[in-house]
Amino acid sequence: MVRLPYIDGFYEVKPSKIICLGRNYAKHAKELGHEVPKEPVIFLKPPSSLIGPKEAIILPRISKRVDHEVELAVIIGKRGRRISRERAMEYVLGYTILLDITARDLQWEAKRKGLPWTVAKGFDTFAPVGPRLVDKRELDVSDLELGLKVNGELRQLARTSEMIFKIPEIIEYISSVMTLEAGDIIATGTPAGVGPLRHGDEIEAWIEGIGKLEEDVLAEESILC
Q: Encode 108-123 in three state secondary structure.
A: HHHHHHCCCCHHHHHC
Asked if residues 187 and 126 have their Cβ atoms less than 8 Å apart, the reply is no
Check if the beta carbon of residue 120 is closer than 8 Å to that of residue 103: yes
Pairing mode of beta strands 70-76, 92-99: antiparallel
Q: Considering the rule CB under 5 A, would residue 67 count as an interface residue with Mg ion?
A: no
**Spatial CB neighbours of 9, under 8 Å, sequence gap ≥ 6:** none
Q: Helix or strand or coil: residue 172?
A: helix
x-or-dash string of contact with Mg ion, 79-118, rule CB under 5 A? ---------------------x------------------
24 binds Mg ion (CB under 5 A): no
The residue within the footprint of Mg ion, chosen from 190, 201, 207, 210 (CB under 5 A), is 190
DSSP-derived secondary structure letter, 155: E
* 137 three-class SS: helix
Using CB under 5 A as the binding rule, whether residue 201 contacts Mg ion is answered as: no
* Cβ at position 8, least distance to Mg ion in Å: 32
Cross-strand bridge partners of residue 145: 159
Indicate the residue whose CB is closest to Mg ion. Answer: 100
Q: How far is the CB of 54 from Mg ion (least distance, A)?
A: 22
Smallest separation (angstroms) from Mg ion to the CB of 189 = 6
Closest to Mg ion by CB, 80 vs 106, is 106
Q: Which stretch binds Mg ion (CB under 5 A): 34-42, 133-141, 156-164, 183-191?
A: 183-191
Beta bridge partners of 215: 203
Q: Using the rule CB under 5 A, is 172 a contact of Mg ion?
A: no
The one among 69, 172, 201, 215 contacting Mg ion by CB under 5 A: 69
* Residue numbers at the binding site for Mg ion (CB under 5 A): 69, 100, 190
